[in-house]
Amino acid sequence: MVRVKGGDALLFGRAGEELTALRHAQIPVEIINGISSGFAAAASLGISLTNREHCQGVTFVTVHKQDHGEPNWAALAATGTTLAIYGMTRIESLCHALLSALPASTPAAVVQ
């Protein structure tokens, strides 16, 4: 049996749940990891995710919470890290939330 998932197999998905189920069923598992789209998009655009002049880290976050709620965008904005946000299905509410927590001059890139 093979399950193919692009990019980083353990970032924002059901990998933990799937691994638990497979191990419980005594099905051998091998993960061959790829490159997360957050890293790949930044590299293709020549954007540093951790430019020392602006931030000291990067936070990978998904808009797809299991309970369908929204992440705490104000708290995430307050971290001062680059936000690599996965799942653009809520782009309007995401933009509104981030613009209420960050200056409108904050650099941003949207990649699909």
For the chain, the domains span: 1-34, 37-112
User: Over 90: is that where the pLDDT of 33 sits?
Assistant: no
**Could you tell me the pTM of the whole model?**
0.79
Confidence of residue 101 (pLDDT cuts 50, 70, 90): very high
Q: What is the pLDDT of residue 48?
A: 92
SS (H, E, C) 1-64: CCCCCCCCCCCCCCHHHHHHHHHHCCCCCCCCCCCCHHHHHHHHHCCCCCCCCCCCCEEEEECC
Q: What is the pLDDT of residue 4?
A: 66
Q: What is the pLDDT of residue 58?
A: 95
User: Over 80: is that where the pLDDT of 2 sits?
Assistant: no
Q: What is the pLDDT of residue 40?
A: 92
Q: What is the pLDDT of residue 49?
A: 93
Q: What is the pLDDT of residue 91?
A: 85
More confident: 47 or 16:
47
- Of 8-12, 14-18, 20-24, 50-54, the range with the lowest mean pLDDT is 8-12
User: Over 90: is that where the pLDDT of 42 sits?
Assistant: yes
